[in-house]
Amino acid sequence: MTILIFKTNLRSAEDVKKVAVLLNGDARIPCWSVDRDDCDCVLRIEALGLESGDVIDWVRRAGFECAELDG
């Protein structure tokens, strides 16, 4: 299991719902969360065999900013 952590601009519940459709649709992601109270609106994903670039592409295609945070 890999933990991927990203800085995003997912500020509202509606923003999170738009991305949830993408993340919930991938079997390689058993668990994920967005901390909208954090200044970086951190997206945390527990994944099996998923690359950070894939997540960044999905979130950006949904119209939001996304960049990997260094652990």
Asked if 58 and 70 touch (Cβ cutoff 8 Å), the reply is no
d(CA 23, CA 68): 16
Q: Dihedrals φ, ψ of 9, to 5°?
A: -120, 35
Domain range summary for the chain, segments of one domain joined by +: 2-68
Tens digit of pLDDT per residue, the chain (71 long)?
A: 999 999 999 999 999 999 999 999 999 999 999 999 999 999 999 999 999 999 999 999 999 999 999 75
Token pair in block for residue 7:
């800085």
Q: Is 13 helix (H, G, I), strand (E, B) or coil?
A: helix
pTM: 0.93
pLDDT score of 70: 79
**Amino acid code (one letter) for 70:** D
Domain covering 2-68 assigned CATH 3.60.15.10 in the classification: no
